[in-house]
Amino acid sequence: MALLGGQIVEFTTSLFAADVIHSKVGVSVADSARLGAGFLVGFAAGRWLAAYLSHRYQAAHIMIASLILTGIATAVVAGSSSLSGVVTGLVLIGLGAGPCYPLLIALALSCTTMSAQRASGTIGALSGVVVATAPFGLGALADRTSLSALFVTLSGTAFVSAACLMHGFVYASNRHESA
């Protein structure tokens, strides 16, 4: 669930980054596209930072922190009307969302009871469905309400994903102790 939530945030933000800058701050479409790339800068930095941190910390801990950062950053984007607030929020969303796919795939494969090939296929199929549908569903929400509502929804998605990981981490710890 955390992997799918992370993908929802990642793909939806990448599609709506420029639009949220343009609609909330009122800068030109060209400037919004340029500044929206801040999400991708944060995303790349998040991947690199996660690669470095994964040698020192457990992937679950990195992901919980990343998803909490993402939840806070999406709330900042939803609530901000200043250019610096929206762009900073997008960069921080990227920083938090960057590690999601590689680390959550590693976590999922490490704790599955099915074969790695079957788990990879299941993850791939579910990821395809999420990537193909979630941004459009959330875009429809934004059309009916606002882009702020979309980012509030993404914030909730990130926090629920972090809660799923924390629950799984506690469950695994308790299960290990009782064995």
C-alpha closest to that of 75 among 28, 13, 144: 13
Look up the CATH number of the domain holding residue 172. Answer: 1.20.1250.20
More confident residue, 42 or 109: 42
Q: Which of 35, 102, 21 is closest to 66 using CA atoms?
A: 102
Cβ proximity of 76 and 92 under 8 Å: yes
- Retrieve residue 148's tokens: 């702020």
Tell me the per-residue pLDDT of 3-23, one tens digit each, with 9 for 90 and over.
Answer: 889 899 999 999 999 999 999
Task: Write out pLDDT tens, residues 84-132.
Answer: 999 999 999 999 999 998 998 888 888 778 888 898 888 889 999 999 9
Provide the residue range defining the domain that includes 148: 2-178
Judged against a pLDDT cut of 60, whether residue 173 lies above it is answered with no
Rg (CA), the chain: 17
Using DSSP's 3-state secondary structure scheme, residue 113 falls into coil
Determine the pLDDT at residue 154. 92
Whether residue 34 is predicted with pLDDT greater than 70 in this model: the reply is: yes
The SS3 of residue 98 is coil
Enumerate helices (H) and strands (E) in the chain, giving the number of each.
Answer: 8, 0
Count of the separate structural domains present in the chain: 1
